[in-house]
Amino acid sequence: MSVEFRVNPDRYRHWRVTFDGPVATVTMDTDEHGGLVPGYELKLNSYDLGVDIELYDITQRLRFEHPEVKAVVLTSGKDKVFSAGANIRMLAASPHHDKVNFCKFTNETRNGIEDATANSGQTWIAALNGTASGGGYELALACEHIMLVDDRSSAVSLPELPLLGVLPGTGGLTRVVDKRHVRRDLADYFSTRPEGVTGRKAAAWRLVDEVVPRTAWDQTVTARARERAAASRRPADAEGIKLTKLAKQRNADAIRYRFVAASLDPARGVAEITIQGPPDDPPENGIRAQGDQFWTLAMTRELDDLILDLRTNEPELGTWVLRTKGDAEKVLAHDRLLDDNAQDWLASEITGYLKRTLKRLDVTSRSLIALIEPGSCFAGSLLELALAADRSYHLAGTRDADETQEPATITIAAMNLGPLPMANGLTRMQTRFLGDDKQLSEAEQNQGEPLEAERAEHLGLVTFAPDDIDWDDEVRIAIEERSSFSPDALSGLEANYRFAGPETLETKIFGRLSAWQNWIFTRPNASGPDGALRKFGTGQRADFDKKRV
């Protein structure tokens, strides 16, 4: 069964979204019987991938469809419980790659919540009207402000270590010390208490921002949301655009959208992805008129869905080959329109969404190889695909000495110099030329110039520039070879090479925390027949190999 990431708000099973002027309230109320696969019940607002897919959809619609929303209250529809976190039986039954992929997606959604607060003027507030444990508390940690009801029983907790023998793997450990600045020894103690911490102690230790008695709960939550909304820079009376259902055809061999397509080749372990540039010049009457059909937004939505689909449903396609096709000038014209309207909320949302989607590509554990061939349009925003790749090949000259063809070029533009930073806070060009400001500025000086292969290679913008004679063999060998390597070692290699330079909360979560969690998930102490994940709920204790590693 293939997991579907396109969801319709009319059919949410686990969430309610209500609106009151500038404040949206997102209420988690999981349907116990709505698990994505059989075998577990989503009790106590525990969640699985399906619950999180709906949450991701909510975050996107709030941004695009609701410019009027300036504060988002995240709360629970259950009595006395906010959320028990990721469903344990689901985790225990999942194969390793599903566990890791699930954690990655939930991490991305939580990073998106922080990004909405930081960059969209939509501040998320966690209104914990009951206990938030494990992933439930980690979800709250992604919010800017955490309120906990003070009723002697509602607690925040990270019980993963004592109860399950794994880590809070959705950014919890990093956010506790690096974002909320909980003292490390108190954090250590907190993370060993299955029952967590309640009331004033939770506030004193900075695990939450405030505790509020139940009698004053509703009015205080409303007041906080209104305060945050009042501080937002989001426009007063803009109108949202509708995110319509993405048209998509999918079978075992191919996935097709309007601008993005992938052919799937399990025998070679390869997905060949092609992104079409804009068919037309950007609309003279602005972006809004085209709504979600504006090329950059439509293409980004398709690419986003494709990444999620391939990651989740095609784990054995270990190499993604990235191509573009179309008119570079039209790509650059769309980029310019976004850049010229950078102060407009909608243009800003579109660029921000492209930024997040490219970040999703960066943390995807697949080898990325960009092929720059005649007819391609690796310019500006689409050049980021080649810069995100582990390697790029740029054909020197034309195919078969065909003089009717133009040689392939790449073009640096403003989009490559700031608006689309990676998780490390640098642009992909800055990361590429880390520690070499001279080469960076030399490359940047070629902004706007269509660069043919030799020049692009000389400037360090592409990896190799074979000519027609060598192209087929060189590219074929690179792809075949990639499929022959250990998939695990490739994931580790790429995770280390893609994020040179400064570290941020995000790179720590994806680089360090996730790697530890991956390791712990594979260990018999967690996932073996006598491991803690398997023994949870059986009344039996896990049987640990006591060796410290």
Residues 503 to 522 in contact with a second copy, rule: CB under 8 A: 503, 507-508, 511-513, 515-520, 522
The tokens describing 455, both together, are: 């020049």
- Is 523 strand, coil or helix? coil
Residue closer to a second copy (CB basis): 169 or 277: 169
The total number of residues shown for the chain amounts to 549
User: Which listed residue (29, 454, 492, 536) binds a second copy by CB under 8 A?
Assistant: 492
Instruction: By CB under 8 A, tell whether 500 contacts a second copy.
Output: yes
**Site residue total, a second copy (CB under 8 A):** 89
Q: CB of 432: closest distance to a second copy in angstroms?
A: 6
Instruction: By CB under 8 A, tell whether 3 contacts a second copy.
Output: no
Instruction: By CB under 8 A, tell whether 463 contacts a second copy.
Output: yes
User: Which listed residue (288, 450, 501, 536) binds a second copy by CB under 8 A?
Assistant: 501
Instruction: Give Cα separations from 262 to 255, 272, 301 (angstroms).
Output: 5, 5, 14
Instruction: Count Cβ neighbours within 10 Å for each residue of 45-72 and write b for 16 or more, e otherwise.
Output: bbbbbbbbbbbbbbbbbbbbbbbbbbbb
Q: Which residue has the tokens 């102690």?
A: 201
Q: CB of 394: closest distance to a second copy in angstroms?
A: 12
Q: Which of residues 344-363 bind a second copy (CB under 8 A)?
A: none
Instruction: By CB under 8 A, tell whether 253 contacts a second copy.
Output: no
Q: Are 86 and 135 in contact (CB under 8 A)?
A: yes
Q: Which of residues 362-381 bind a second copy (CB under 8 A)?
A: 365-366
User: Which listed residue (392, 409, 416, 430) binds a second copy by CB under 8 A?
Assistant: 392
Q: CB of 371: closest distance to a second copy in angstroms?
A: 13
Q: Which of residues 521-540 bind a second copy (CB under 8 A)?
A: 522-523, 525-526, 532
Q: Which of residues 121-180 bind a second copy (CB under 8 A)?
A: 160-162, 164-167, 173-174, 176-178
User: Which listed residue (254, 329, 487, 530) binds a second copy by CB under 8 A?
Assistant: 487
Instruction: By CB under 8 A, tell whether 19 contacts a second copy.
Output: no
Residue closer to a second copy (CB basis): 2 or 219: 2
Q: Which of residues 179-208 bind a second copy (CB under 8 A)?
A: 181, 183-189, 191-192
Q: Which positions ≥6 away from 386 have C-beta within 8 Å? A: 322, 370, 372, 378, 392, 410, 461, 462
Instruction: Give Cα separations from 92 to 195, 316, 533, 538 (angstroms).
Output: 21, 22, 6, 12
Residue closer to a second copy (CB basis): 239 or 481: 481
Residue closer to a second copy (CB basis): 292 or 530: 530
User: Which listed residue (5, 257, 345, 433) binds a second copy by CB under 8 A?
Assistant: 433
The tokens describing 278, both together, are: 């804009």
Instruction: Count Cβ neighbours within 10 Å for each residue of 205-219 and write b for 16 or more, e otherwise.
Output: bbbbbebbeeeebee
Axis-axis angle for helices 295-313, 328-340 (nearest 10)? 110
Question: Sheet harboring 123-128: ordered strands across?
Answer: 15-20, 23-28, 71-76, 123-128, 145-150, 210-213
The tokens describing 373, both together, are: 């061939």
Instruction: By CB under 8 A, tell whether 62 contacts a second copy.
Output: no
Instruction: By CB under 8 A, tell whether 434 contacts a second copy.
Output: yes
Q: CB of 63: closest distance to a second copy in angstroms?
A: 29
Q: Are 453 and 395 in contact (CB under 8 A)?
A: yes
Options 40-48, 96-104, 324-332, 445-453: segment touching a second copy (CB under 8 A)? 96-104
